[in-house]
Amino acid sequence: MTQANIQNLHQSDELNEAQAAEVFERARAAARDLRKTTVAERVGELKKVLHRFYEMREEIMDRVCEENGKCRTDALVADIMGPLDFMEWLISDAEKILADEKAPTPLALMGKKSKIYHEPLGACLLITPWNYPVNNSMIFTMTGFIAGNAIVFKPSEHTPLKGLLEKIFDASPLIKNSVQVVYGSGTTAQHLIDQRPAKIFFTGSNRTGHKIMEQASKYLIPLELELGGKDPAIVFDDVDLKRTVAGVLWGAMTNTGQSCTSIEKLYIQYGIYEDFIAQLKAECEALVVNNADRGDADVGAMTARFQTDIVQRHLDDAVDKGAKVLCGGDLIDGKDGKFFLPTVLTDIPDDAALNHEETFGPLLPVYRFNTEDEVIDKANDTEFGLSASVWSKDLERADRVARALEVGAVSINNVMLTEGNPHLPFGGRKSSGFGRVHGPEGLLGWTASKAIIVDKQSDKLEANWYPFTIKKYTLLQKLISAAVIHNPILKILRIALAGLPLESHAQKPRD
């Protein structure tokens, strides 16, 4: 199915303002019902969906390959294995993460108990992109559901997978009632934002992220934005060439380079530069490009015409300014989509667009470097800060570089791996967005923290309540002085010497 056919098929899906209001009316009703359930009950429902998802894996991959254009193994690894791993993590860890927390209570509040509740936000809006249509939709919706939220989910109009998620959710009436899938373009998204969701979770381009943030700011709607990247791979001269070439090539070309964490800049230390690019060229030229495969192709088709145009523009601009094409560089029209051959570039001039703009395609520019400090400065010289990879046998050096990079995640001697671990947070810095998904931090992002302090019901008055007296003021000064003492034994003694008379005085009426 071509992108033109997909667009024509779903042109009637746009929602108007009244329909968007009805969607959120249902979502808020579902959220109220969902608050009455426990995390354990929601985990039980998730187990049903996980089993249905597994049973439907071949059908899911068929739909993903048809609408997205990726090769079948890419679909298996990212859109099947990824969600399965993540749902298993939610099943095993969600109850512990979302449980009420005991919090310490300072000596000055002795006798009280402090707690933190992690409560659902309500009816949230989720908007996802076209590059990982099942991975994003399943991970986000199930995270939000487990946290107790109702979700209005708008997938990309470029890969809507219409009816697929609903079929998966048929396994659980509770989840089906809690997650509404709404189809349409940016116009539909605007109408949904106007309904003032409790929070918006958006993954996609910087341009669209800015528009969503601007509209949400009118209503003070909180946001989590996972936007673009310009991820560097830094290769030092002590690496195993064969393994590192293989890892870098996969990190640049997986999903046809259409990943926010794809390698978009490759820095190779001078000592191995020539040998590395020679092996890289040979391996790149050997990749099998096809998407009508049974699992034996390496790289699939580009998903959207506009993205193909960006890749072509970046390539033409770089070559016009003096860059050399090491391999690839051709766009091929096939019956199942447009195939941009995996491309490696060298000698890229500083003013080339691909040096600072996100490409989001199978285009890998290669650069040389000498020193650790030099490559850190080069890698950080970007508006983006999503993730990076560092390759070296010297793990102390790799750790130094990882700490110095202004990004949200670093894979050492691997690539695009942090997002594969559901225990780790995922998200960017700078123009790559804010907020985190995955891991405990990501799960708690779907909740509102509520501070609770519990005191006994008694006839005792608090020292900071009325009436205020000179004696109370003096005793409070002594208590404050005791609180800043760093010797723990002396601190407890001084607090007791000030606190006990203060508590006694607080029970007396004003003279």
Three-state DSSP class for 94?
A: helix
Looking at residue 211, its amino acid is: K
Q: Tell which residue, 144, 188, 164, 187, has the closest CA to residue 30.
A: 144
Q: Tell which residue, 420, 415, 380, has the closest CA to residue 235.
A: 415
Q: Any alpha helices (H) in 218-265, and if so which ranges?
A: 241-253
Q: Over 309-368, what HEC string results?
A: HHHHHHHHHHHHCCCEEEECCCEEEECCEEEECCEEEECCCCCCHHHCCCCCCCEEEEEE
Q: For residue 226, indicate whether it is catalytic.
A: yes
Three-state DSSP class for 220?
A: coil
**Contact call for residues 212 and 127 (beta carbons, < 8 A):** yes
- Specify the pairing of strand 101-103 against strand 113-120: antiparallel
DSSP annotation of 426 reads B
Q: How many other C-beta atoms lie within 10 A of the C-beta of residue 396? A: 8
Per the DSSP assignment, residues forming a β-bridge with 118 are 449
Q: Which of 45, 157, 224, 226 is catalytic?
A: 226
Orientation angle between helical segments 488-506 and 470-483, nearest 10 degrees: 160
**Contact call for residues 396 and 374 (beta carbons, < 8 A):** no
Q: Which of 65, 71, 124, 260 is catalytic?
A: 260
**Contact call for residues 147 and 446 (beta carbons, < 8 A):** yes
| Those residues with Cβ within 8 angstroms of residue 227's Cβ, 6 or more apart along the chain or in another chain | 203, 204, 205, 206, 209, 260, 386, 428, 431, 432, 433
DSSP annotation of 148 reads T
Q: Tell which residue, 358, 408, 379, 134, has the closest CA to residue 257.
A: 358
Q: Tell which residue, 349, 343, 352, has the closest CA to residue 325.
A: 343
Separation between Cα atoms, residue 368 and residue 224, nearest integer Å: 35
Helix (H) / strand (E) element for 388: namely strand 387-391
- Which residues are known to be catalytic? 226, 260
